[in-house]
Amino acid sequence: MYEIPSYIKASEGFYLNLLDKIYTDIAKAKTEQEYTDTIESLCLKNRSELMNENVLQFFINEEQDTEKIVSDIKNYYLAHLLPYQNAIISLGLKHDEKYTIVTMGEFGSISCQKITFDRVVPATYAQFDDAVKMTFKPFKKRSLYQSYFYNNQEILIYEGWKDFDSDALYTITETKDCTVRTSKHTCFDISMFDDVIKQLGEPMAKIA
């Protein structure tokens, strides 16, 4: 049973009005070409809403006969991928296969995540139109998780699970009293990716 997210419930009137507008605009289409043009116009004007899977599922729950419209909306975005979306989706990552995703973490250092891939779809994220939403199981987790990746965010993708030794990012000095780890990089220094590649080898994809 689909549970409507709280943010959709809070703005239910807005989404119902959008659904009504979709029906009204599509009802005016008299030919297949007019229908196609209407779908394109709706998708361009309402990108952030219509690329949201929760919104589309809400539409289906409200009106069962929206399933074809929802399918056509999804197909439009797949046929008109933006550059970053295309770079990731065109990789053809396989369901239930293991991958390692390397990105810059929110605190300015490398994040290396081992996943079992489920799916990836075009999406919007915050102010970024050119984004994807990836669904996966993290290493040693049973539940599915989701992450957004967006243009200007560098990402390395490796086939299989890789273990990155973060010591490669530091200069390590041993004294008789302690071990001192001094970072070789400043926060958010993209040259950290070079250290990852030096240790793990060339990835199947390097996207920025």
Please tell me the pTM assigned to this model. 0.79
What stretches of the chain adopt beta strand conformation (E)?
98-104, 110-125, 128-138, 145-150, 155-159, 170-174, 179-183, 205-207
Question: Which residues lie closer than 8 Å to 198 by C-beta, 6 or more apart?
Answer: 168
Average pLDDT, stretch 166-170? 83
- Rounded distance, CA 119 to CA 89, Å? 9
The token pair at 145 is 């998780």
Q: Could you tell me if residue 51 is left (phi over 0), alpha (psi between -120 and 50 degrees) or otherwise beta? A: alpha
The SS3 call for residue 126 is coil
Look at residue 28 and give its three-state secondary structure.
Answer: coil
Looking at the predicted structure, is the pLDDT value of residue 1 above 70? no
Q: Is a pLDDT exceeding 70 seen at residue 56?
A: yes
Residue 95: band (very low, low, confident or very high) from pLDDT cuts 50, 70, 90: very high
Whether the per-residue pLDDT at 107 is higher than 90: the answer is no
Residue 151 is classified by DSSP as: T
Compute the C-alpha angle 52/143/76, nearest 5°. 25
Question: What separation in angstroms does the CA of 18 have from each of 8, 33, 43, 53, 97?
Answer: 12, 22, 12, 15, 38
* pLDDT, tens digit, 9 for 90 and up, residues 108-150: 888 999 999 999 999 999 889 999 999 999 999 989 999 999 9
Q: What pLDDT, on the 0 to 100 scale, is given for residue 106?
A: 81
User: Band of the pLDDT at 2, cuts 50, 70, 90?
Assistant: low
Q: Is the pLDDT of residue 89 over 90?
A: yes
Q: Indicate the pLDDT class of residue 22, thresholds 50, 70 and 90.
A: very high
CA gap 39, 22 in Å, rounded:
9
Q: What percent of the chain has pLDDT over 70?
A: 99
pLDDT classification of 172: cutoffs 50, 70, 90: confident
CB 156 within 8 A of CB 205: yes
